[in-house]
Amino acid sequence: MTTGLSPIELAKFIAAKQASEYIESGMKVGLGSGSTSAWFVQCLGEMVRENGLKIKAVPTSEHTAELAEVVGIEVITLDAAKWLDITVDGTDEYDANLNLIKGGGGAHLREKIVATASDRMVVIADATKKVDTLGAFPLPVEVIPFGVGITRNLIEEALIGMDVMGRDVSLRMDGDTPFITDEGNMVLDLHLKHIGNPRQLGFVLNQIPGVVENGLFIDICDVVIVGRGDGKVTVRDITNNTAEVVQYDVQQEDNIFLEVAE
């Protein structure tokens, strides 16, 4: 239900609710990862249970796959889907050109594969994710475990010639051990503060041996849906160059969610 949610969670919920209007029966849908995407999966689950929505979904993480199955969404592999009608996902940052930084949860490799295998990518977010210039959020780079120290050194050297304000690189940890992605890789977080040329940086990083993928999503996002704590949702479509504001009644009791174990 909407009552009792914090302003941030309410913003995520109504953005997810708005995104669910893009989904129709028969679609093959990419499901993103993270807290905002979890709201979207819940909204789709409600549509499956209550409205008879019939879709097939490709999750971008094991956690999303588990949640989708719990709420009643049919899960398939990307190879089985072959191509997707739409992917809906969250973001850690986005700029005026709808370029993104993703990967705070470490799923950016699968997220980028799924998003680029879709006719359209819709991003759902709260207003705090909008930035003038990408880079305040650490840029995740997925790397193979073999020679991770060498890969880190090569990245640090490459950053010397880049238009960035910081060059600190840290290995992402999960307690006392390195964080491991669903693909069995590690993540290096680049604390850049400012990325003057995201396209160039993404290209350079992906040329470094040991790098699997970086968290810069350039020219991939088509629509961003931004929710706010007052119930307003802004829908910006960069392809059609349109922007629309929708007002939700945040006092209504929308008890659509199943109890799902973390």
Rounded distance, CA 233 to CA 231, Å? Answer: 7
Cα within 13 Å of Cα(225), Cβ side: 27
- Which of 55, 8, 47, 48 minimizes the C-alpha distance to 31? 55
73-76, long-range: CB < 8 A, 24+ apart = 73/31, 73/41, 73/44, 73/45, 73/48, 76/28
Query: Catalytic residue at 21?
Result: no
Rounded distance, CA 13 to CA 188, Å? Answer: 30
Q: How far is CA 81 from the centre of its chain?
A: 20
DSSP reduced 3-state for 41: helix
* Residue of 46, 111, 142, 213 with catalytic role: 111
Rounded distance, CA 36 to CA 9, Å? Answer: 8
- Which of 148, 187, 140, 189 minimizes the C-alpha distance to 168? 189
- ∠ CA 91-111-220, rounded to 5°: 70
Rounded distance, CA 245 to CA 196, Å? Answer: 30
- For 1-77, strand residue ranges (E) read 28-31, 56-59, 74-75
User: Residue for token digits 């680049």?
Assistant: 190
Q: Which are the catalytic amino acids?
A: 111
